[in-house]
Structures are given as C-alpha cells and as structure tokens.
Amino acid sequence: MTDTAQYRVEFITSLDQIAPQAWHAVTGTDYPFLRHEFLHGLETSGCTTAESGWQPCHALLRDGETLAAVLPMYLKSHSYGEYVFDWAWADAWQRVGLDYYPKLLSAIPFTPATGPRLCRAPGLAADEAWPLLLQGIRQLARRRQLSSWHLLFPDQQTADNLYALGLPRRLATQFHWLNRGYGSFDDFLATFSSRKRKNLRRERARVAEQGIALRRLRGAQITPALWRQFHRFYQLTYAKRSGHGGYLSREFFTEVAPALGEQVMMAVAEREGEAVAAALYFCSDDTLFGRYWGCEREFDCLHFEACYYQGIEFCIEQGLSRFDPGAQGEHKIQRGFTPVYTYSNHWIAEPELAAAVADFTERETAHVEQYRAQAAELLPFKQNG
C-alpha cells in the first residue's frame, strides 16, 4: 500500500499550466481524447472556455512536485454537449430554490466515448487515488458552492469502484460493433440472416448507383483544403439538425484534429471528382471512434455507408477490436451494432437531493437492462433469426 499522506490535489484552469510531456507521462497517448494536443486544442480553438460554458478545471494529484494522477474536469454552466441528460435534475434543483449550475464535470467535451478518465502514474492504485481526488473535489465544490460532480463514460470497473464508494451509478445503452475475428466485410455479412444481409448489400449498392465513391484517408493524407471543407459539411449538417453551427470551431478541424496524425481517419464521399460528404473518425490501438459527419446535400444511404460501413471495413483491415460510432441510433442494431452499457457516476452536495438521485438511478437501471435485452433480440445475426 502506497503512503498517500504526501499527496496533494490541485486544480488547473488551462492545460497551458502543464507540459505535454508531463501530461502524457501519466495519460499516455493511445486514447486520442485525453491527449494534451486534443484537450488543449479545444481550449485554444475556443471550444472549451468560460464563455462556452466549458471552463477547464482539471484535477491533478501530485506527489511532491511529481505528477501522480490526472482527471479531466470542467466547470459547467449548462448541460449541453454531454450526452448524459440531466435537465430534469436541473429542474428539480430549481423547484426547491437551489442552483444546479455551475457544476463540475469529468468528461471529454462533446464526446460520448467510453475510455479512461482517471489516469495514474505507475505505482499508484486507483483505490488509493480516488479517495484523495474525491476529497479534493468535494472541498472545491463546497468552497465555490457548486451543486455536484459528474463522471461521464468511464469504463465499467471505474464506475463500479465509485459505486462502491457511495457514488450513484447511472446506466445507459449505446450500440458498438465488435470484431469477432472477421477477415473481410463479407465474412461479417455471412453472420447475418439472409434477408438482413440482402438489405445491407442493397444499401451499399445504392450509394454506388448514385455515382458516389468513397476513399478512406488517414493523418497527413487529409489535406488542409479537405479539413476546411469538412468544417463546412459539419456546420451545414448541425444547422439542419439543431439550428446552430455545432460545438466545434473551424480551428478545431483545421489545427487541432490534424495534430493527432494517424489517430485521425476520414471517409470522404466523392461524386464527379468533388467531395460531397465525409465522416470523421478517431482511433486508438484497439478501438475506432466515429465522431462527426457532414454533407453538402442528401444522398440515399450515404450516411450509413460513410459513418458505419466504412468504419467496419477499416476495423477489419486494421485488426481493431471495437467500433464505437457514438451515442443513440437504434437504426444501428440492424446493421450489426450490439447494444452495450455505458456508465456515469454522480456526487451531489445536497443530502436530500443526493438521496433522490441515488433512488432515481437505481430505478432507472432496471428499465435500461430491459431495454438492452430487447434491443439485442433485434440484432441481424443468424442466431437472432
């Protein structure tokens, strides 16, 4: 057991305050969304600032002057861009005359992707680091009169550990593609029932019938002009869906994302030699993360091809074990994406409201478990009929 008496918690308001080498010595660089370039780039491109409601407040655990652990964290003045919905909780706070915002949030901004959250140097165990960080977070929350702290999309082990420490655990469902050793896309399709297999092939053929071809580009293969065009696609698509231009700035796409090199992949749809749509992916050593999509005009089945089938082919070619295409989307089930659990944990400062949240998450869990079981019955694989 490590002697933790010498450890101290501090909070920084920008990644300018810590060198990339020191940060990466603890986080590593495999998970793209925790890279210094990514999180710092969100700051410098204007996406995570006090003005945007995403004020960096990263938690550091130090052993003397040595960085022992980091936990990404933000001071939030709203709940946009989180993908774990707590608007009803904010309403409940208001009804009893309390302020829900600001709150503390440990998450990757605008990114509902499961992955590491607490990153530790070798020799420091999670069950040693968490009590120290939680104590520091509670002290910060009380000092600044913050309502709560929320951890979004941790791995199951982390969620379970925090649940054991008394933090309510909330369950949700996403749809992920799992690589079961497929040698090709046709091998994957061979596991489908005949009717489902024909439907998927028909969708892919429909893209080609419209004169559209797709290319997968990685890292430096994605030109500056294509990054600028992708930002336009992104804005157009967000405007149609949400009435605004999206959470991410032009600089994010032209400066931040390219800095991640081979961890970025783009599936570009071209018609008559011109790009008409594209899907943007990030990847680690074993997982592909589908993140953003945009198009200039609508084409039949192109979204499915660019955002799902190109990602599956890439995973098979690269030997990746999992494809996480993002939040929501029951239409993914019939395309071979398995329902999986995602997790969040929540600390609430006010005792009575903390009890209400704990009760809500326990009752919600049964519904989520039932939903996941029902969704799994709809998978297109032969054993599912």
195 and 315 co-located in one domain: yes
Query: Is the same domain home to 126 and 270?
Result: no
137/159 Cα distance (integer angstroms): 17
Same domain, 165 and 219: no
- 314 membership: H or E segment, kind and range: helix 310-318
* CB-count exposure of residue 358 (10 Å: 0-12, 13-18, 19+): middle
Looking at the structure, do residues 11 and 160 belong to the same domain, yes or no?
yes
- Identify the residue whose tokens are 């993908």: 83
**Whether residues 230 and 360 fall in one domain:** no
Q: 197 and 166, same structural domain?
A: no
Which letter does DSSP use for residue 327 in this model?
S
Closest to 126 (Cα-Cα) out of 154, 88, 148: 154
Total of domains in the chain = 2
Q: Is residue 191 part of a domain?
A: yes
Condensed to tens digits (0 to 9), the pLDDT of residues 147-176 reads: 999 999 999 999 999 999 999 999 999 999
Q: Which residues pair with 71 in a beta bridge?
A: 59
In a domain, 366, yes or no: yes
Report yes or no: 319 and 66 within 8 Å, Cβ to Cβ.
Answer: no
As a whole number of angstroms, the distance between CA 171 and CA 348 comes to: 17
Give me the residue label for tokens 């503390």. 104
Inside any domain, residue 241: yes
Q: Confirm whether 328 is domain-assigned.
A: no
Domain-embedded: residue 49: yes
Q: Cα-flanking dihedrals φ and ψ of residue 120, to 5°?
A: -130, 145
Tell me which amino acid residue 43 is: E
381 is a domain residue: no
Specify whether the CB–CB gap between 356 and 196 falls below 8 A: no
One domain for residues 151 and 204: no
Q: Which of 193, 194, 214 is nearest to 204 (CA)?
A: 214
How many Cα atoms occupy the beta-carbon half-sphere of 360 within 13 Å? 14
Residue 56 vs residues 7, 61, 146: alpha-carbon distances, Å: 22, 16, 15
How distant, in Å, are the alpha carbons of 28, 118, 119, 125 from that of 122? 12, 13, 10, 8
237 and 344 in a common domain = no
Same domain, 348 and 372: yes
**For position 285, which CATH number holds?**
3.40.630.30
Same domain, 82 and 218: no
Q: Is residue 291 part of a domain?
A: yes
110 and 85 co-located in one domain: yes
Q: How many Å apart are CA 48 and CA 39, to the nearest integer?
A: 9
User: Same structural domain for residues 191 and 94?
Assistant: no
| Structural domain of 137 | 7-173+340-376
Residue pair 124/68 in contact (Cβ under 8 Å)? The answer is yes
Is 353 within the bounds of a domain? yes
Three-state secondary structure call for residue 48: coil
- Return per-residue pLDDT of the chain as tens, 385 residues: 455 678 999 999 999 999 999 999 999 999 999 999 999 999 999 999 999 999 999 999 999 999 999 999 999 999 999 999 999 999 999 999 999 999 999 999 999 999 999 999 999 999 999 999 999 999 999 999 999 999 999 999 999 999 999 999 999 999 999 999 999 999 999 999 999 999 999 999 999 999 999 999 999 999 999 999 999 999 999 888 777 888 999 999 999 999 999 999 999 999 999 999 999 999 999 999 999 999 998 999 999 999 999 999 999 999 999 999 999 889 999 999 999 999 999 999 999 999 999 999 999 999 999 999 999 999 999 975 4
- What whole-number distance in Å separates Cα of residue 284 and Cα of residue 108? 15
d(CA 23, CA 218): 25
